Amino acid sequence: MRDDSVPLALPLLRLAAGTSEVTTLYRELRKPLLRYLVCLGLTSDEAQDVVQDAFLSLQRHLASNGTQENIRGWLFRVAHNQARNRQTSYHRRFGEPLDGEMDFLADDATPEQRVLEKEKFRHLAAAIRLLTESERECLLLRAGGLRYREIGEVLGIATSTVADTVERGIKKLAEKCNV
């Protein structure tokens, strides 16, 4: 695996403890964090709370001259741990059937397309329920744009383990979804 593969996307050297930088980070990372937390199984309100707490922790972290390396991974890790504290069984919610909530997906689609789309998500949801917790978390973080190294930092596992876990998860989904 390539350790120097990706710049961590954030101007860390410019990142002083000032609130303007935190505000910039908040604008940049709030949505990906919310998406990850909601997909983990938190409610929207819980996810909002966790994100706010994570950014408050970030401000304290920076004010106390904490490390400025990989702030994105740091934020995801803090949010991930808070989510785990709040909801020990959150992972079961992701992959729940979304019947009745799919109508807004394709307002301009034909009925046939809507049926196909619904069927596709139904298969995927069923496949997601077969993933292990680690596979699910790795795939969610990957979908959030995190690199393998960042995912490893968030989950506290090695980068090579992340690569194996992602590969296993994707293959499971591909097999169950017949693609």
Partner 1 sequence: MCDVQEKLIAWLDHELPTDESAEVQRHIEGCKQCRTRLAGYEKVSETFDVYCDVVVAAKTRRRVPRWVPVLAGAVAAVAVMFLTFPRTRIEPPPILPTITAASVPVPAQPAPETAPRKTIHRRHAVAPVQVRAVKWQPRETAVQIAIPAEAIFPPGAMPKGMNFIAELSIAPDGSVKQVRLWQ
Torsion of CA 140, 31, 53, 40, to 10 degrees: -30
Establish if 140 lies at the interface with partner 1 (CB under 8 A): yes
Q: Does 174 bind partner 1 (CB under 8 A)?
A: yes
Sole binder of partner 1 in the list 9, 17, 34, 157 (CB under 8 A): 34
Residue (4 or 112) nearer to partner 1, CB: 4
106 binds partner 1 (CB under 8 A): no
Number of residues binding to partner 1, judged by CB under 8 A: 37
158 binding partner 1? (CB under 8 A) = no
> Is residue 39 close enough to count as binding partner 1 by CB under 8 A?
yes
Helix H, strand E, coil C: the string for 112-138 is HHHHHHHHHHHHHHHHHCCCCHHHHHH
Q: Quick check: 101 binds partner 1 (CB under 8 A)?
A: yes
Closest CB to partner 1 among 61 and 80?
Answer: 80
Q: How far is CA 46 from the centre of its chain?
A: 15
Q: Is 9 one of the binding residues for partner 1 (CB under 8 A)? A: no
**Minimum separation from the CB atom of position 24 to partner 1 (A):** 22
Token pair belonging to 179: 């693609």
Give the residue, chosen from 79, 148, 152, 153, that forms a contact with partner 1 under the rule CB under 8 A.
Answer: 148
Cβ contacts of 83 within 8 Å, gap of 6 or more: 37, 40, 42, 46, 47, 50, 90
**Contact at 8 Å (CB) between 123 and 176?**
yes
Q: How far apart are the first and last CA of the chain?
A: 26
What is the rounded CA–CA span in Å between residue 12 and residue 84?
A: 27
**CA triplet 79, 154, 98: central angle to 5 degrees?**
60
Which residues contribute to the site for partner 1 (CB under 8 A)? 1-2, 5-6, 34-35, 38-39, 43-45, 94, 98, 101-102, 104-105, 120-121, 124-125, 128, 139-140, 142-143, 147-148, 163, 166-167, 170-171, 173-174, 177, 179
